[in-house]
Amino acid sequence: MAEENKVENSEAAQQSPEFAIQRIYTKDVSFETPNSPAVFQLEWKPEIKLDLDTRSTKLADNTYEVVLSVTVTATVEDKTAFLAEVQQAGIFTIGNLPEAQLAHTIGAFCPTTLFPYARETVASLVNRGSFPQFNLTPVNFEGLYASYVQQRATQDSAPQSSETH
């Protein structure tokens, strides 16, 4: 009877979801102030543009690299004050998940994990560039992922046009 429990427990352990962070690292960083020092003479009322992107690569069975790219562009009077680009990456062990849950984990949960690191890097770069303190507002990656899935479903269900020659 004890042997039966050991077999059941080992099977349950093999089937239980697996998630672990192996490593979080900065893959690439860039900071530019193309209009300095002139931009420092302007009244500081910046327009901020934020671009986010994610990509993932399967490294091995149950091992994935996820990269969150954050680009922040600040303009003052149509002049670029600064451009900060950060690629924050992580290597994650993710196993025993259904395909949809795996995609959600890679597309929403991993970027949510990486964002605070990217946010801190951007804030540090802006500070070192001698600009006023800058903190990115939190991002709802769950909502972004849900929108992405809905958009894909809409595209997949749209009738395909056929071309005639």
Tokens representing 18 are 């697996």
Angle at 98 between CA 97 and CA 102, to 5 degrees: 65
Instruction: Decide if 54 contacts 78 (C-beta within 8 A).
Output: no
Domains of the chain: 18-149 (3.10.420.10)
Question: Cα dist. 3→6, 30, 103, 133 in Å?
Answer: 5, 58, 36, 62
Reading the chain (165 residues) residue by residue, the pLDDT tens digits are 555 555 555 555 568 999 999 999 999 999 999 999 999 999 999 999 999 999 999 999 999 999 999 999 999 999 999 999 999 999 999 999 999 999 999 999 999 999 999 999 999 999 999 999 999 999 999 999 999 999 988 888 766 655 555
